[in-house]
Structure formats: C-alpha cells, structure tokens
Amino acid sequence: MASIVYVTDKNMIEFHRLNGNQSLNFWRPMSQKKIRNFHPGDMIFFLTKTINGQKGNEKGIVGYGKYIKNRTMSFDQMWRQYQQENGYSTKAELSEAICNLTSDGELPEQLNCLYIQDVLFFNHPIYLSEFGMNVPVNMESYMYLDDKNGSTITCQILEKAKEIGIDIWSAAMNNKVVDVLKFEEDVNLLKISALHTKVQDYPYTESESKKNKNVFKEIRKNDEWVYPLIYSEYEWMKWINGSIHIYIPAHIGYKDANKLKLLLGHILMWKSVVKDEKDKYVFHVLTNDTIKTSLVKYFDQDEQVIIE
C-alpha cells in the first residue's frame, strides 16, 4: 500500500466535505506529472490551503481517500460520468475552474481522472511540519509520503487524525454514514507496516524474488484488497474479520536446512514484534507441497501460523 499527498483546490475539497461526499473524481490536465506505482486501494491525502494562525502559509491535510481507478476522459464524458463528484454544482462552474488552470484558458481535449472512494475528512487540518516533513515549494501536484528507509509519516497522520477526530457531522447532515470502522482498519494496516521495519524481509535469491511477484500477482487477481506492506518487497497483508493477516512466501527445497532455519527465525521475529499488540495477527506461509509437511510439524499447535 502506497500513499501520496495531493495538492487540491480549497473550494473543490470544501464542496466535497460540506456535501458529505464519500467518493469523488480528481480531474487533472494531461500535462501534469503522471502518478506512477499507484494501485487500487492506495491512499491519497488531500493537501489544501487552510485558515491557520500558527502555520503561516503551510497547506494542511484535511482528509484522505482510496484510489480506485485512473481514466482519460473528455470534459463532457467526465461530467456525464461523475457530475457533482467533480467538486462543483454545475457543469459551467466546473468548466470555468478547469479553464482557470490551463495556460491558454481553454478546456483541454482530454483530462486525467483519478476516482477516489472511502473518503473521510478530519475535524481539523493536519500539518506535515508536525512530523518534521516539509512540502517542497516547487512540488508538482503530489509527492509520496513514505519511503523504504522506514519513514512512517502515513501512520503518524492517521494516528493524529484518530486523536483529533473524523468529521461525521457533514456526512450526517447529508443523510450519509461515515464508516469509522474502516478508518480504524486503515490505522491498523499502516501500523503493521511500521512494525515490519523491525523484522525486515526474509532474504530471497533473485530467482525466488521473481517467483514471489508471480505468487502475489495471482493472489491480487482474485483479491484486490490484499496489499503489499509499505516497506516490504515481498510480504503482504489483509484485514479479515478484525484480524491482520500477514502473507509470507517461502521457497525452500526438501533438504535446504539453512533456509528452513531462516524462515523459522523470521516467523519467530514477527511473533515477538506483535506479541504486545492488541490486534490479532495470523501469519500465512505460502510454500509448496514438498516442504509443507516439514513446516506443519513446527506449527501443529500454533493457531497463529497457517502453512498453505
């Protein structure tokens, strides 16, 4: 699961908040920087101008949502498809807003559309400077929040949002219900990514790494809500009925004792890291039939580990 902070128009995002919109379309001129390495379920945080007495001109994060899909559409197609989900009450207002952003003041032939769902707004803006992170002055529309060096900004933002509260009033005024439990799920899934930095990845060879990609390509084909850990190349996670499930691929030969020891140690480290957590954790070891029997005997009475 990746996350980005995305610069949004203040009036547009306020329109979505006041209307309690839980899905929206972010339209972008095709000339803007293309968003790469972004997948369904990844997070987009809304960064916009706010009224703040202490933060000067710093933009604040006012909410977030889950990226669903990316399409290229004409203006007319986009209005027919999304209407007020584009952030304006009328087609004329939307047209004017887009023209104000183009260099020639004209509607572009095509627009890049990012469709967002599971949108939540915070009771108060959250500022990246609170976590020692500054937004570059020349940032082009977005930037990634986390990296593979152990940054946990995304998790910290959601923990802060949990502290200040989710805006459920605006949604209620529009006869909509905010899924607070979904927010709690997001907090937990990001927390486990941060915990993974203490464990790190199980060591794989180059050929094993290629196998891992194929394994999870098949899994993702059948279940789009399984996510890679933010700081991991090979381990994935999913929230199932109140439990966090961790998926660990294992490519071990029948007589490869050293790799077996490494795997057992890796699972032991995971269990040690999460033992004091309130959530329930289940570890799925994905392996082949050759070694499955050998592994099962080590976890025969362990409900926390599943060999499959």
Residue 75 has pLDDT above 90, yes or no: yes
Nearest-angstrom CA–CA distance, 222 and 218: 7
pLDDT band (50, 70, 90) for residue 115: very high
Give residue-wise pLDDT tens across range 130-150: 888 888 777 778 888 875 555
**For residue 77, is pLDDT > 70?**
yes
User: End-to-end CA distance of the chain, in Å?
Assistant: 23
Would you state the pLDDT for residue 55? 64
Half-sphere exposure of 48 (CA within 13 A, CB side): 22
Q: 3 pLDDT exceeds 80?
A: yes
C-beta neighbour count of 169 within 10 angstroms: 12
Q: What is the Cα–Cα distance from 256 to 294, expressed in whole angstroms?
A: 11
Average pLDDT in the 258-268 region?
88
Domains delineated in the chain = 3-178 (2.30.130.30), 197-307 (no CATH)
Report pLDDT digits (tens) over 171-192.
Answer: 777 777 777 777 877 887 778 8
Q: What percent of the chain has pLDDT over 90?
A: 29
Looking at residue 33, what is its pLDDT?
67
Computed over every residue of the chain, the mean pLDDT equals 84
pLDDT in tens, 145-156: 875 555 578 888
Mean pLDDT (whole number) for 184-211? 82
**Taking the model in full, what pTM does it have?**
0.73
Residue 283 — very low, low, confident or very high, per pLDDT cuts 50/70/90? Answer: very high
